[in-house]
Amino acid sequence: MAEMEIAINGQHKTSPTKDDGVYDRAKAVKAFDDAKTGVQGLVDAGIAKLPPFFYMSPEDLHDHPTLTDPHLHSNFQVPIIDLKDILDPAEHKEIVEKTRSAAEEWGFFQVINHGIPQHVLKEVLDGVRRFHEQPTEAKMKYYSREADIVRYYTNYDLLQSRGASWRDTLICVMAPNPPPPEKYPSACRDILLEYSKHVQRLGEVILGLLSEAMGLDPDHLNDIGCSEGHTFGCQYYPACPEPDRTLGHVRHRDPDFLTILLQDQIGGLQVLHEQHWIDVPPMEGSLIVNIGDLLQLISNDKLKSVEHRVLAKSVGPRISLACLFTTHFEASSKVYGPLKQLTSPHNPPLYKETSILNYLSSYASVGGLGNALSSFKL
């Protein structure tokens, strides 16, 4: 019988592969999840082939063509917005216009001269790496599928997905009601807390620009709570033995108002634009911003939450840190719907009002490949 090896609590155990015709996917996934060693545990075990539950169909891997050289087509380059002169009135107006264009046409853009020191960006990526590369025993105590303030896991949808993505994740809720500092892992605690302060300010600036871009008061999106909470997704994508058979992160939209992403120099992030996958190349010192579903909803489709994914690579690890602006973990009765300032008899609301928790329930039910917003269409 063809077999694969999985390291479970330091011991090697075998399970049949898909080719045997007796492969029990649910059993294999449970064994992997119960081991609490993550994707990195498979790499540490020296696997040469992926466990079959990571395999993705050709339809999922090649659903749209990839534009391999966007520099040949100026219309396919992710916008770059320079915030250096944001306080200059004349430059500010141009920055708002560039932000509007990027948010409406792409839903994705990169920002430079954003005010977060380069050493902080480097140190926070180093902190994410330290957490994921520490001994397994130190990480296992954080491994959970519950909605904990701090948790470590592989794939939030591992038990339901058609094919698992090749990555491990550390989730840390940073605001609005952070836990005591000692709740965060010691391997990255101090730098996560420092980066949180910086990225909170930047998020407020970007939401201010987006407010102005929609013709609203600069404080509008911040005042209604779009920057009230933020959560870190600290991602670790080890080198993959079969990168052509899976993805680092399956195509998805973000379940938040706004995401600010810091990625290292490995690359692999792609955004879906005009039915093509477009590379979002790493730029040292830059941060990537993308519109989330909740911001598309309250903007009444003026701003676009777009699908994106991460390729699996034979080199690595790839390290990234996504800051999601939302209050996922707050039990609130607050509801969000299309802003009245953006609707009219000629431009009626496109969505029903929803709470964040109700939206998240829809997001979980449709999975990464679905469109949670469709549940709220009028």
Of 283, 331, 217, 346, which is closest to residue 82 (Cα–Cα)? 283
CB-based contact 207:258 (threshold 8 Å)? yes
pTM above 0.85, yes or no: yes
Q: What is the pLDDT of residue 21?
A: 58
Question: pLDDT averaged over the chain?
Answer: 91
Q: What is the pLDDT of residue 161?
A: 85
Residues 6+ away with beta carbon under 8 Å from 298: 224, 257, 336, 337, 338, 339
Q: Is residue 42 part of a domain?
A: no
Q: Is residue 11 part of a domain?
A: no
Alpha carbon distance 175, 378 (integer Å): 32
Alpha carbon distance 317, 280 (integer Å): 17
Q: Is residue 226 part of a domain?
A: yes
Where is 102: in which H helix or E strand?
A: helix 89-105
Greater confidence, 159 or 121? 121
Residues 6+ away with beta carbon under 8 Å from 365: 372
Max distance between CA atoms of the chain, in angstroms, equals 71
Cα distances from 306 to residues 277, 296, 326, in angstroms, run 11, 10, 17
User: For residue 63, what is the DSSP state?
Assistant: S
Q: What is the pLDDT of residue 369?
A: 66
Residues 6+ away with beta carbon under 8 Å from 145: 33, 153, 159
Q: Is residue 54 part of a domain?
A: no
Q: What is the pLDDT of residue 34?
A: 96
Q: How many CB atoms lie within 10 A of CB 214?
A: 20
The pLDDT tens digits of the residues spanning 86-114 come to 999 999 999 999 999 999 999 999 999 99
Phi/psi for 222 (5° steps) reads -70, -40
Alpha carbon distance 35, 20 (integer Å): 23
**Is 126 strand, coil or helix?**
helix
CB-based contact 253:43 (threshold 8 Å)? no
Q: Domain holding 227: CATH number? A: 2.60.120.330
Q: Is residue 37 part of a domain?
A: no
Domain that holds residue 87: 73-376
Peptide bond into 317 cis (omega under 30): yes
- What are residue 322's DSSP bridge partners? 233, 261
- What proportion of the chain, given as a percentage, has pLDDT over 90? 80
Q: What is the pLDDT of residue 65?
A: 87
Q: What is the pLDDT of residue 23?
A: 84
Count CA atoms within 13 Å of residue 197 on its CB side. Answer: 6
Chain centroid, CA 160 distance in Å: 18
Q: Is residue 303 part of a domain?
A: yes
Q: Is residue 238 part of a domain?
A: yes
Greater confidence, 23 or 68? 23
Q: Please give the structure tokens belonging to residue 104.
A: 């409406």
Q: Is residue 213 part of a domain?
A: yes
Residues 6+ away with beta carbon under 8 Å from 48: 241
Domain count, the chain: 1
Lowest mean pLDDT among 14-23, 88-97, 141-150, 357-366: 14-23
Where is 311: in which H helix or E strand?
A: strand 308-311
The pLDDT tens digits of the residues spanning 205-233 come to 999 999 999 999 999 999 999 999 999 99
What's the whole-number mean pLDDT along residues 5-11? 34
pLDDT at 236 over 50: yes
pLDDT at 200 over 60: yes
Of 296, 290, 246, 299, which is closest to residue 271 (Cα–Cα)? 290
Alpha carbon distance 290, 305 (integer Å): 7
Alpha carbon distance 256, 293 (integer Å): 6
Of 213, 238, 45, which is closest to residue 128 (Cα–Cα)? 238
Alpha carbon distance 129, 320 (integer Å): 9
Peptide bond into 218 cis (omega under 30): no
Lowest mean pLDDT among 8-12, 90-94, 160-164, 359-363: 8-12
